[in-house]
Amino acid sequence: MLQPGQAPVQSASERREALKSVWAAARVCVRCPELASARAHVVFGAGNADADLMFVGEAPGANEDAQGLPFVGHAGKLLDRLLDEIGLARGDVFIANTLKCRPPGNRDPQPIEIENCREYLYRQVELIEPSVICTLGNFATKLLRDDPTGISRVHGRPEVLTLGSRAVRLYPLYHPAAALRAGAVLEALRADFARIPDLVAMPAPPQPPR
């Protein structure tokens, strides 16, 4: 597998083929022995492999592990609704997670697991080439911002960052599961979502020289 930062392939079909190779590596990954032995499926991500807009959540839960798809439980239904409110559907975006395997009992991802899985996420970003990445919740936000500042302080504030070889507009959002627990968080998430179309319509950030 290519390492993050290696020169990306060019055409959309080449990128899609390379993404399939990353998927093939991820589906047999045993870097986290506890997660590998407990999982039913590696949840690689789903959607449009050439999307301008990508979402990165935390980790698969029980439903996602059972189906092999991201965000198919209650939080996923809310994500679908919020996408619909801004005129988008799952097929317009790519949805991935910080971890590709379910932490047993839905415990928090451990730092070593996040580190083990980071390469897959960065390769997805390099090969999908989104111009906007919405992080959902603390784990994805802290990982991709490389900063421990919590989501309540940074949600709704877009910033340009370089992830591997790609410059992207990162847009931190509350996690939909948190919005299901608190009405004020749902209001904030909905208000932040409303700005997504404008962010996607902006010119893509200039890419670093290869």
CB of 14 to ligand URA, least distance (A): 28
CB of 101 to ligand URA, least distance (A): 11
CB of 15 to ligand URA, least distance (A): 23
Q: How far apart are CA 120 and CA 3, in angstroms?
A: 9
Cite the DSSP H helix spans in the chain.
Answer: 12-26, 33-38, 62-67, 74-85, 111-128, 138-145, 151-154, 176-181, 183-193, 196-201
Q: How far apart are CA 37 and CA 44, in angstroms?
A: 16
Which positions from 131 through 190 interact with ligand URA, judged by CB under 6 A?
Answer: 177
- Is 64 a residue that touches ligand URA (CB under 6 A)? yes
DSSP letters along 15-73, please? Answer: HHHHHHHHHHHHTT--SSHHHHHH-S-----EE-TT-SEEEEES---HHHHHHT-SS-S
Residue 68 vs 205, nearer CB to ligand URA: 68
Q: Which stretch binds ligand URA (CB under 6 A): 19-27, 70-78, 86-94, 182-190?
A: 70-78
Q: Which of 97, 116, 124, 135 binds ligand URA (CB under 6 A)?
A: 97
Residue 70 vs 130, nearer CB to ligand URA: 70
Residues 6+ apart with CB under 8 A from 47: 90, 91, 92, 93, 94, 95
Instruction: For residue 176, give Cα distances in angstroms to 22, 73, 115, 153.
Output: 27, 11, 24, 17
Q: Which of 61, 109, 158, 164 binds ligand URA (CB under 6 A)?
A: 61
Q: Which stretch binds ligand URA (CB under 6 A): 2-10, 53-61, 124-132, 180-188?
A: 53-61
Q: Which of 29, 75, 144, 200 binds ligand URA (CB under 6 A)?
A: 75
Q: How far apart are CA 149 and CA 154, in angstroms?
A: 7
Residue 52 vs 58, nearer CB to ligand URA: 58
Residue 99 vs 168, nearer CB to ligand URA: 99
**What tokens were used for 70?**
């991201």
Contact 54, 127 (CB under 8 A): no
- Total number of residues binding ligand URA (CB under 6 A)? 11
CB of 201 to ligand URA, least distance (A): 26
CB of 52 to ligand URA, least distance (A): 21
Residues that bind ligand URA (CB under 6 A): 57-61, 64, 70-71, 75, 97, 177
